[in-house]
Structure 1
Amino acid sequence: MSCNRSCGLITGAVIGAVLAVFGGILVPVGDTLIKKTVKKEAALEEGTIAFKNWVKTDTRVYRQFWIFDVQNPEEVAVNSSKIKVKQRGPYTYRVPYLAKENITQDSETHTVSFVQPNGAIFEPSLSVGTEDDMFTVLNLAVVAAPQLYPNSFVQGILNSLIKKSKSSMFQNRTLKELLWGYTDPFLNLVPYPVATTVGVFYPYNNTADGVYKVFNGKDDISKVGIIDTYKGKKHLSYWASYCDMINGTDAALFPPFIEKTRVLQFFSPDICRSIYAVFAAEMNLKGIPVYRFILPSSAFASPLQNPDNHCFCTEKIISKNCTLYGVLDIGKCKEDNWIHFTVYKTAADQYTG
């Protein structure tokens, strides 16, 4: 009995020791195998899980709009009264949802190039109305024309064309027209070769952003998705100093093995600058522990609140000498779209008036 008990104890101790040894060996081996698999599948090359999800993501990304509907257009236009507006929204669109195109691998630089087609799909369930909702807003073409052509003789001609087209400072437009474009009756009469389609985000649909060149991660997985060049350049030429840098990824993916302390950097062509996100909380997504990263308030703070943002301030009037939160002049970035620049400048002039 004593031997059996002693033998059992010895056997149990031996088995425990063996299992402990195997555990000490297998755990790091297992971690190594997992990391090796993740590195392989996270690279942006044909056949990997990351590549498939990167080309066309199933993740839904939404863009929401709030429109300021002018309540007293006649009083403003005739009597120069103080404008009264009513905020309406959100109106929600899903973007982007189209697959990347012109994907080209470069084995020497370990990069992959592509363009991202632009498109927006209206999401009624996440909106307060429809795309046919009507708004009273500034007439973009009418307010922009004096800024483009300051010569008094030319302005006289333009004023006659504005009257002939029955246009005025304000107009009624649907959400769809306002955002994505409409044919302007005043511009239709201009005897010069000018674009006649106007819209705050025109052209957007049926266009493409890029060319992007990003690292594919084959040589270094910590660089996967990080932008090497954008439109053939490593800098934007919009801002001064470090604000002009193209940092991080295009936000379609980030390198694996991210720690809470990491700052996630990415470039947004919509706002013409690089931005960043920081760790906010641990969450559970369908049984999987994940980290949630958010944009901190400091990212869009005024230079008064965050001195690091000083080189993003290029406009002094609307921003009240760079003291307002969230104001960003993207006129230089969008100068190929005259509406973005001239309406911004007109707003600045009206603000001072």
Structure 2
Amino acid sequence: MGCFSIKCGLLAGSVFGAVIAILGGILIPVGDMIIERTVKKEAVIEPGTTAYDNWASSEIAVYRQFWLFDVKNPQQVVQEGAFPEVQEKGPYTYKTRYLPKANVTFNPNNTASFVLPMGAIFEPSMSVGPEEDTVTTLNLAVAGAYSLLPPASHILLDMVINSTNSSLFQHRTVKELLWGYNDPILKDTIGLFSPYNGTSDGPYNIFTGKDDISKVSIIDRWRGETKLSFWNDTYCDMINGTDGSSFAPFVDKDVPLYFFSSDICRSVSASYEATMNLKGIEVYRYSLLPSTLASPVDNPDNKCFCRNYETTKNCTLAGALDISSCSDGRPVFISLPHFLQGSEYLREVVLGLHPDEEHHKTFLDVEPITGFTLNFAKRIQANMMYGPAKDITVLNKVKDYTLLPLAWLNETATLDDKTADMFKRELISRIDMLEIVQQVLLIAGTSRGRAHGNYS
């Protein structure tokens, strides 16, 4: 006999509400499992996945903006030993890394190998002037020869400098300084980034994450080696992390992110700074810590990066990295722009520098679910050293070693509106919808059961 009483109806409603609540409770772990399984599947670097499409694509433009340091008092530096005074000029912007990865090969050990073709296309609309703008800058050949030749050869070097009508400083166009010019002393093409066009970075071997998603994008080998050979030290020669373009999914903001940069010939780490909103997508901002370029006095781990005790004041200077061992012997020092986070001394002997945390720091904006870097700014400065030399006319008035900034760059890229909308539609909206369904079922089930309980 059927149950048609009010009490039976209330009982049935309560049971139905409990079932909905239980279903909502079940959906939470099940939904999380679905999300996790889907993300891990799509994060593997192999044809057909979202990660592969982003990894292989060259659709998101990467730009390099350059600010060059124009020396305002070259004669006073040479004739009186004055501190150089500089003024930055820029940006001069180039589209770089617009070419897709080349020689892509998937290997049996769940790694993928490739090279990164390099090129630079000038973007006048994003620049303050043409490439033909001129700057007064350090003579790269004079400073380079001074740094590389022993003092016994300085008299000969002075003769060469005089015979070519060269000096400690020179006038060069933006294009010449960045990409190369024929030098009268070396009888060869030199420039801060010469050669660049038509060259490539790598080859790289990275883990695809197919067998272990926590290893996805981590560099296995660079130029065929699992470690570097620049620093003659096990710690400093380690290749850690990815190339910075992506990380393993489900990022934990309490754990630093590690990445390797061939531009500075070393691995670094970045730590969580803040949660940001990027075109409606929540991202974690990571930035370099001051300890990255700290002196060995403050960070003993950096001792193996100190190459020259004389020019670094017995390795007590912070903020500059000597990369001559990985730049074909060229005496180049890398720092953050305007010697941000560097020793005060570096800014005392070069006038006109104004470090600013917001404009000069390096950061990555990483979407925490996928581990994709959706926005970044890599900011580094190229510097060269010169110092006193009694047998070189253009240097015999110089009083102390000076690390002179030549140019700083901001390599940057961010997802466009179309990609942001696709990202939100394909991932974020589905996760949000699943969470909404979970919450609605829980609330509906709990409310229905509570309501019927009151009537009983």
Q: TM-score range by the shorter chain?
A: 0.7 to 0.9
Task: Sort the Cα spacing of 1:241 and 1:292 in 2 relative to 1 into closer, same or farther, 3 A.
Answer: same
Task: Sort the Cα spacing of 1:65 and 1:150 in 2 relative to 1 into closer, same or farther, 3 A.
Answer: same
Aligned-residue identity in percent: 52
Whether the 8 Å CA contact 1:71–1:86 is kept in 2: the answer is yes
Task: Sort the Cα spacing of 1:83 and 1:106 in 2 relative to 1 into closer, same or farther, 3 A.
Answer: same
Whether the 8 Å CA contact 2:271–2:286 is kept in 1: the answer is yes
- Corresponding residue number in structure 2 for 1:192: none
- Corresponding residue number in structure 1 for 2:182: 183
- Corresponding residue number in structure 1 for 2:192: 200
**1:284 and 2:283 are equivalent in the alignment:** no
**1:132 and 2:125 are equivalent in the alignment:** no
Task: Sort the Cα spacing of 1:121 and 1:337 in 2 relative to 1 into closer, same or farther, 3 A.
Answer: farther
Q: State the Cα distance separating 1:259 from its structure 2 match.
A: 1.2
Q: State the Cα distance separating 1:163 from its structure 2 match.
A: 4.5
SS in 1 for 2:113: strand
Distance 2:301 2:44 in 1: 33
Give the AA of the match of 2:190: V
**1:82 and 2:82 are equivalent in the alignment:** yes
String of CA shifts for 1:236-267, please: whole Å, max 9, x gaps: 12222312100000112111111111211000
Unpaired runs of 5+ in structure 1?
Answer: 189-195
Whether the 8 Å CA contact 1:238–1:244 is kept in 2: the answer is yes
SS in 2 for 1:303: coil
- Corresponding residue number in structure 2 for 1:191: none
Distance 1:63 1:316 in 2: 33
SS in 2 for 1:12: helix
- Corresponding residue number in structure 2 for 1:174: 173
1:5-20 → structure 2 map (5 Å cutoff)? 5-20=6-21
Unpaired runs of 5+ in structure 2?
Answer: 334-382, 390-397, 403-456
Distance 2:388 2:160 in 1: 25
Whether the 8 Å CA contact 2:230–2:326 is kept in 1: the answer is yes
- Corresponding residue number in structure 2 for 1:193: none
**Greater RCO between the two (CA within 8 Å, min separation 6)?**
2
Q: State the Cα distance separating 1:50 from its structure 2 match.
A: 0.7
Which of 226, 237, 256 is the equivalent residue of 1:234?
226
Task: Sort the Cα spacing of 1:145 and 1:304 in 2 relative to 1 into closer, same or farther, 3 A.
Answer: closer
SS in 2 for 1:242: coil
String of CA shifts for 1:27-66, please: whole Å, max 9, x gaps: 3222222222211111111121111111235445444443
Whether the 8 Å CA contact 1:66–1:87 is kept in 2: the answer is no
SS in 2 for 1:332: helix
Whether the 8 Å CA contact 1:331–1:344 is kept in 2: the answer is no
Whether the 8 Å CA contact 2:147–2:331 is kept in 1: the answer is no
Distance 2:283 2:8 in 1: 48
TM-score between the two structures when normalised by the length of structure 2: 0.67
Moved more, 202-211 or 303-312: 303-312
Give the AA of the match of 1:23: G
Q: State the Cα distance separating 1:268 from its structure 2 match.
A: 0.5
Give the AA of the match of 1:81: G
Q: State the Cα distance separating 1:82 from its structure 2 match.
A: 1.1
Distance 2:161 2:330 in 1: 18
Which of 245, 266, 270 is the equivalent residue of 1:252?
245
Q: State the Cα distance separating 1:5 from its structure 2 match.
A: 3.6
Whether the 8 Å CA contact 1:141–1:339 is kept in 2: the answer is no
Moved more, 278-287 or 265-274: 278-287
Number of matched residues? 340
**1:225 and 2:226 are equivalent in the alignment:** no
Whether the 8 Å CA contact 2:183–2:190 is kept in 1: the answer is yes
Moved more, 226-235 or 236-245: 236-245
Give the AA of the match of 2:169: F
Q: State the Cα distance separating 1:112 from its structure 2 match.
A: 0.4
Whether the 8 Å CA contact 1:56–1:97 is kept in 2: the answer is no
Distance 2:261 2:95 in 1: 16
Moved more, 55-64 or 8-17: 55-64
Task: Sort the Cα spacing of 1:59 and 1:326 in 2 relative to 1 into closer, same or farther, 3 A.
Answer: farther
Task: Sort the Cα spacing of 1:73 and 1:180 in 2 relative to 1 into closer, same or farther, 3 A.
Answer: same
Moved more, 173-182 or 65-74: 65-74
Task: Sort the Cα spacing of 1:352 and 1:153 in 2 relative to 1 into closer, same or farther, 3 A.
Answer: closer
Q: State the Cα distance separating 1:352 from its structure 2 match.
A: 4.2
**1:216 and 2:208 are equivalent in the alignment:** yes
